[in-house]
Structure 1
Amino acid sequence: MTDKSKIFVYPKDVSAFGFDWGKLALTVAPEMNGATRFSGGVVDLPSGKGHTRHNHPGAEEIIFVISGHGEQMVEDEKGIPMVEKVGPGCTIYVPESRFHSTLNTGDGPMQLFVVYSPAGPELVLRELPDFRLIPAGQ
């Protein structure tokens, strides 16, 4: 029988990856609920914070803005940064291995839902110097 707690997942019910720039609560991942082709979760960015330019070698990413406003950068195929103001309802597609960054430019928090395909790029975040594991419910 399938465990419903692994099918219907709230970010508050899972541990989160904490960083100086915000946090990521993985709600879909092989280790979380057996997802095999992708992983994803909710990112919370405080006002003025964001993740710096980085890429996910061999993986694509989808970023969906749930709330808040910011600037999203995605480099084109020549490495030239494309920057757009983004807000609720915007979907950003980050092609495989492309560098990108997100900055919360609003007065309040910014919340995103991110999806990685294939699963795995998010696990590298554990190696960052400012990584900390935030227990569920905190």
Structure 2
Amino acid sequence: MPVTQHTKVAAADVEVNRRRGGEIRVVLGPKTAGATTGFLGLLTLAAGEFVAEHYHPYSEEFLYVTRGTVVVRLDGEPVTVGAGEGLLVPKDVRHRVENGGDEPAEAVFHLCPLAPRPELGHVDTEPLVEPAAPQINVGAA
């Protein structure tokens, strides 16, 4: 029987990406764990923070809120997602994630399949929060 390779990665060991807003960490992905089909990460939004609107032409996004409440705008329509709830964002659907509350919010996200090349994974549809910041560990994020 073949031996399966596994990789364990701590979120605290992954560099933060703030390019689109909030604190995004790709915990398990091509760069961090050698993943070949998708990636999983952690999103933390302080009160009032948001992730700028974008869409994924190749990937579905699975979002599961672990703390707080976020509003996800899907093609402009608001969907409230609270702790213990998940949301599927289909490919090609514009989405923006907002924390309009007074407390921090945290969510786990997973995208798959990967885009053919990392730079094709996201299409930004509003100005980025940190447009000059380098893109870190995003794979197709």
TM-score range, shorter chain: 0.7 to 0.9
Asked if the contact 1:39/1:120 (under 8 Å) is kept, the reply is no
> 1:82 deviation in Å?
3.0
Cα distance in structure 2, aligned partners of 1:101 and 1:88: 18
Pair 131,66 (structure 1): closer, same or farther in 2 beyond 3 Å: farther
Task: Indicate which of 87, 92, 95 corresponds to 1:100.
Answer: 95
Larger helix proportion, structure 1 or 2?
1
TM-score by length of 1: 0.76
Pair 130,42 (structure 1): closer, same or farther in 2 beyond 3 Å: farther
- SS state at 1:31 partner: helix
Cα distance in structure 2, aligned partners of 1:120 and 1:17: 19
Cα distance in structure 2, aligned partners of 1:112 and 1:46: 12
Task: Kindly indicate whether residue 115 of structure 2 is the aligned counterpart of residue 113 of structure 1.
Answer: no
Cα distance in structure 2, aligned partners of 1:89 and 1:52: 23
Asked if the contact 2:67/2:107 (under 8 Å) is kept, the reply is yes
Identify the residue that residue 68 of structure 1 maps to in structure 2.
68
Identify the residue that residue 43 of structure 1 maps to in structure 2.
43
Larger strand proportion, structure 1 or 2?
1
Asked if the contact 2:41/2:108 (under 8 Å) is kept, the reply is yes
Pair 111,37 (structure 1): closer, same or farther in 2 beyond 3 Å: same
Cα distance in structure 2, aligned partners of 1:15 and 1:63: 20
- Which runs of 5 or more residues in structure 1 are unaligned? 76-80
- Which runs of 5 or more residues in structure 2 are unaligned? 137-141
Task: Kindly indicate whether residue 83 of structure 2 is the aligned counterpart of residue 88 of structure 1.
Answer: yes
TM-score by length of 2: 0.75
- Shifted more, 81-90 versus 33-42: the winner is 81-90
1:22-57 per-residue CA deviation (whole Å, 9 max, x = no partner) reads 121111111211111111200111111111221011
- Shifted more, 81-90 versus 56-65: the winner is 81-90
Runs of 4+ in 1 over 3 A off after TM superposition: 1-4
Pair 49,11 (structure 1): closer, same or farther in 2 beyond 3 Å: same
